[in-house]
Structures are given as structure tokens and as C-alpha cells.
Amino acid sequence: MNWIWRGRLAGLMLLAVSFVAANAGTDPTGRTPGPDDTAARLDRASAEARLSLPDFLALVINRRGIASEAAVKVAMPTPEGGTEEIWITPFGIRDGDLVGLLATQPEHLHGRLRYDTVVFRRDQVRDWSYIGGDGRIYGSFAARALVADLGLPRNAAMRRLLSDSPLPVTR
């Protein structure tokens, strides 16, 4: 797969995940979820993503130690003492650490720019995502947690993009 096609796939994946996050607001019944509801679902999604991280890494890391067709969302420490969750792609393993490029422009990581190289630990990963051979998005646990909050047309469109299971069936 050439670099242009990889970039398009990565962009589509990040756009889809961002779409869900930006458009979440009411569930199909019209009920607006409370902040505790949403936070609890996102916490569970993040925990599920971390539990499946070893399987994901085994699937996407190539022989050279690089995952060029996948992305991870990482909680990066900010100068103010908080964290900013940001997508990183491509990424890989170097000397036991995870290393990758910031996929978007950080808002709170002062002095950092989109495409800067960052080093991070596995325990900082909050989500992961990649597009499978079937063209559907795997992982994206946060998007899956929020998709029910979309209105019906958007919910259906997002569900068509997401795989039936966040983890691919391997044989």
C-alpha cells in the first residue's frame, strides 16, 4: 500500500472517530446523557482498549517494529500537570519504548507540533484504531462508547464504518 493511500486511510479513521466525539449529544431516544454517564463509558472504553493493546500491537507491528497503518490515542502530560489525549500515527517500538508522530496539532503540549516525534509508554495508551482488510474500523473503543449518543442517521452511518467487533477475528 503506498503512502498516499495510507494517509487517506489514517485520515478517514481519525475523521470518523472525531465525528463521533463531536456529534455525540443525545441518544436515539432523545435523552441527553449526563457527564458522569459519558465519562464512565469512556473510562470503560479506555480500559478495554488497554486490555486488548498487546493483541493489537502483535497484529499491527511489522517485522521492522513499525505500525504504519494504525493509530493509538495517548494521554500525554501537559506542562500544567494535566494530560492531553492525542492520536499518534505512524508509531513503532524502539528499544522497548513506543515512538510515533503526533497526528494532529496539540492544544496543550506547548512547544509540540503536528508530526513531532514523541516517546510514550503502553500505560499512556487510551485507545487504538486501524482499518482492516475489509475496509472497516477496528478498535476505536471511545467512538463505540459514544456512537449510541448520535442521532439515528449518524448512528447508522458510523456503525457501517465500525467493524462488528472491536477486535478482529484471527484464525
Cβ atoms of residues 109 and 86 within 8 Å? yes
What confidence score (pLDDT) does residue 98 get?
A: 97
Per-residue pLDDT at 61 exceeds 60: yes
Do residues 67 and 61 touch, judged by C-beta distance below 8 A? yes
To the question of pTM greater than 0.75 for the whole model, the response is yes
Residue, of 48 and 171, whose pLDDT is higher: 48
C-alpha cell at 170: 484471527
DSSP summary character for residue 68? T
Supply the DSSP symbol for 123: G
Please give the span between the terminal C-alpha atoms of the chain, in angstroms, as a whole number.
23
C-alpha cell at 117: 516525534
Q: CA nearest 69: which of 147, 159, 4, 123?
A: 4
Q: Where are the beta strands (DSSP E) in 60-169?
A: 66-67, 70-77, 83-94, 97-102, 117-120, 125-131, 137-139
pLDDT digits (tens, 9 = 90+) for 63-108: 999 998 999 999 999 999 999 999 999 999 998 899 999 999 999 9
Q: 65: how many CB neighbours lie within 10 A of its CB?
A: 12
Span 104-148, pLDDT tens digits: 999 999 999 999 999 999 999 999 999 998 999 999 999 999 887
| Helix (H) or strand (E) run with residue 8 in it | helix 3-23
